[in-house]
Amino acid sequence: MSYDCPNCGASGLDVFYEAGEIPVHSCIMLNRREDALAFPRRALTLGACPQCAFISNILFDSSVQAYTAGYEEQQSFSPRFRTFQTEMIGDLIRTYDLHHKDVIEIGCGKGDFLVELCETGKNRGIGIDPTSDPERLEGPGGERVRFLKELYGPQHADLPADFVCCRHTLEHIPATHEFVGMIREVIGDRRDVVVFFEVPAVERVLEEEAFWDVYYEHCSYFSLGSLAHVFRRNRFDIIELRKDFDEQYLLIVVRPVSSVRKTERANEDDISKIADGVATFREGVRRTIDGWRDRLTALKRQDRCVAVWGSGSKCVSFLSAMGPELKIDAIVDINSFRHGKWLAGIGRQVEAPESLVGYAPDLVVVMNPIYLDEIQRHLDSMGISAEVTAV
C-alpha cells in the first residue's frame, strides 16, 4: 500500500521503522496504577518522504488523542531549559521588536513561555491550549496573558496578533500542510505578522538511532528542509531557519506573503542527508534497542540498582522498547507535578529525585544528555555516587 506525504503531497513514503502496541500518549499522568496499565495502545510505523524529507507515523489515529488537564509536558523546572528559554525570548524580542505587541501562542501548554515573553517585552498575550492551567503561573507576567482552553482554529481569526508562536505542537499534527495552511488563512492579509515555530529535529534522532525519541503522539518529524517546505508551500516567506538546544530543536521564523520566492537557503537542502539517516536508523535501531536491553538486564541479574532520571516522553518510549520484563528500580523527575503519578502504559510511579538517597543506585540513566551536568550536580548534592549515563 502506498502512502501520500501529508507535508508535500508526494506519494510513496519509504516505511523504515515499526513499533507495536505503544501508549498513545506519553505525557498524560495517571492517578492509579490500574489506569496506567490499561492505557490505550496503538502500533506505530514511520515512513519517510523521498521528495521533502518529512517523516510521519502512517498509522496515526487522531481519534485516540486526548489532550486533557492530566497532560504534563512542562520543561521549565530544569535550570538548563529555563536558561535556553530566557535567551531565546530575549533574542526574539530584540530581533523582531516585540515590545507592547499582541502575541498569540498556539499550543501554549502551561503558559510559562508566553508569560515570560509578555513580561519581558511588556506584551499582551493570548494562550490557546486545552491543557492550559493559569493557576500554575506565578509572577506579574500572568496579568498580561489570558488563556483559551481550546484548540486553535479559524474561529480565532479576529484575535489581534503581531506575533504568532507555536512551540512543540506541530509534531503532534498529522496533516501538517492543512494545519499550516489554516494558520495562513487565519492571518489573511496581515502581512506584518511574524510567525515563529519550534519543533524537534529528526536528523539527530536518525543518526543516533534514538528510538526513545519516537513515540505515538509525535506523528510528524521534521528536518530543516521539510519544515521550510511546508511553510513556503503555504505562502510564507522564511526569515530565519536554524537549529538550537544542542541541535535538538528546529526554529523557523516566517512572514505571510502573496507569492513565495523560489530561493532556498543552503541548510534546507537535506533530502539526501535525511535519506542517509533513515538508512542508518533502519540498519541499526534494533541493535541499539537490544544493546540497551542486554546492558540493563545484565545489571539486574547482578542485583544492581538502576534508576531513570526524567519521566517524560523519552522515558515512556525507552521503557516501552525495553519491555515489561525489565524492572527498573526507580523513575525520578524534578517536575513536582509528576511526583506520585503513574506513567501511561508503563505502570510505574514517578518519584522526587531525593528518593534516590534510599535507593543508592548503581546506575542513573538520564533521558536527555543536555541535562547531564545539572543532574550530576544534583546527585552530588545528595551524596549519591553512581555511574551516570545518558541515552
For residue 261, give the C-alpha cell.
520566492
Give per-residue pLDDT as tens, 215-272.
Answer: 999 999 999 999 999 999 999 999 999 999 999 999 999 999 998 877 788 899 999 9
Domain for residue 1, yes or no? no
Domain for residue 52, yes or no? no
At 390 the pLDDT is: 97
Domain for residue 131, yes or no? no
Q: Which domain holds residue 336?
A: 297-390
Residue written as grid cell 541499526: 284
Number of domains in the chain: 1
Domain for residue 334, yes or no? yes
In this predicted structure, which of 65-74, 244-253, 281-290, 314-323 has the lowest mean pLDDT? 65-74
Rg of the chain in Å (alpha carbons): 21
Domain for residue 92, yes or no? no
User: Quick one: pLDDT band at residue 69, thresholds 50, 70, 90?
Assistant: low
pTM (predicted TM-score): 0.95
User: Quick one: pLDDT band at residue 139, thresholds 50, 70, 90?
Assistant: low
Domain for residue 53, yes or no? no
Overall average pLDDT of the 145-160 stretch: 95
Question: DSSP string spanning 90-108?
Answer: HHHHHHHT-SS-EEEEET-
For residue 225, give the C-alpha cell.
528542509
CATH number at residue 386: 3.40.50.720
Cβ within 8 Å of residue 117, ≥6 positions away: 89, 92, 93, 98, 103, 105, 123, 125, 165
Domain for residue 372, yes or no? yes
**Residue 15: enclosing H or E segment and its boundaries?**
strand 14-23
Overall average pLDDT of the 140-147 stretch: 80
User: Quick one: pLDDT band at residue 65, thresholds 50, 70, 90?
Assistant: confident
Question: DSSP string spanning 52-66?
Answer: T--EEETT--GGG--
Domain for residue 325, yes or no? yes
At 84 the pLDDT is: 97
Residue 261 neighbours by CB distance under 10 Å: 9
Give per-residue pLDDT as tens, 197-231.
Answer: 999 999 999 999 999 999 999 999 999 999 999 99
